[in-house]
Homo-oligomer: A and B are copies of this chain.
Amino acid sequence: MQLLKDKIMKEGNVLPGDVLKVDSFLNHQIDAELMQAVGNEFAEKFADAGITKILTLESSGIAPSVMAALQLKVPVVFARKRKSLTQNSNLYSASVYSYTKQESNEISVSEAHINSHDTLLIIDDFLANGQAVLGLLEIAEQAGAATAGVGIVIEKGFQPGGAMLREKGLRVESLAIIESLENLQITFKEAVEQ
């Protein structure tokens, strides 16, 4: 997606340790128009997949998910990273290790919001090691829901998550795939591969 790649080139900040900081439009400040374009792109790619619900993870997955949901005319469910006091129903849950934050989070979704009649589109902001998507897949499985595919805003193609998920037979659509952040330079994969 050229608009997204242009934005990453213009505003992305590469930090030592292969960190790509996109806090100016995705992870802290949010560019609503870009998120709309991103959401529309996901919706177009999965238009014929029979999606009944989008499953994402708080917080950075919410904006692109809501925009895709608007086009697909389905609800979003966001997995929570901590249980809240008002969540008194039964939960599906999974443990997710974040390499960025160097900690494990329990993520959970109320049983009320996903069931075996659902066909899910999983959306997340970043794909690196794939741990968050694995956690969301585990929750989908607990619910008996089908997963039609995974929509990722930015994939770090030099980390193993994308290959690992595709080897499972999952359809993974990443709107920008970073080939390398070596020497603090951003290089994209030329074409988005499936």
Which residue numbers of A lie inside 8 Å of B, CB to CB? 15, 19, 21, 23-25, 27-33, 35-36, 58-59, 62-63, 65-67, 69-70, 73-78, 80, 84-88, 100-102, 109-110, 112-113
Contacts and interface: CB of A to CB of B under 8 A. Distances in A.
A55 to B, nearest CB: 10
Given A28-B87, A29-B76, A58-B59, 4 more contacts: A32-B76, A59-B62, A62-B63, A62-B66
Contact of A66 (B23, B28, B67): B67
Contact of A30 (B76, B100, B102): B76
A28 to B, nearest CB: 6
B113 A100 contact: no
B86 A100 contact: yes
B15 A88 contact: yes
Contacts of A85: 100-102
Contact of A28 (B32, B70, B80, B101): B80
A15 to B, nearest CB: 7
A71 to B, nearest CB: 9
Contacts of A28: 77-78, 80, 87, 109-110, 113
Nearest to A23: B110
Nearest to A64: B66
8 contacts: A15-B86, A15-B88, A28-B80, A29-B77, A30-B66, A30-B78, A33-B73, A63-B76
A35 B66 CA distance: 9
A34 to B, nearest CB: 10
Given A23-B110, A59-B58, A112-B24, A32 B69 contact: yes
Contacts of A113: 23-24, 28-29
A69 B30 contact: yes
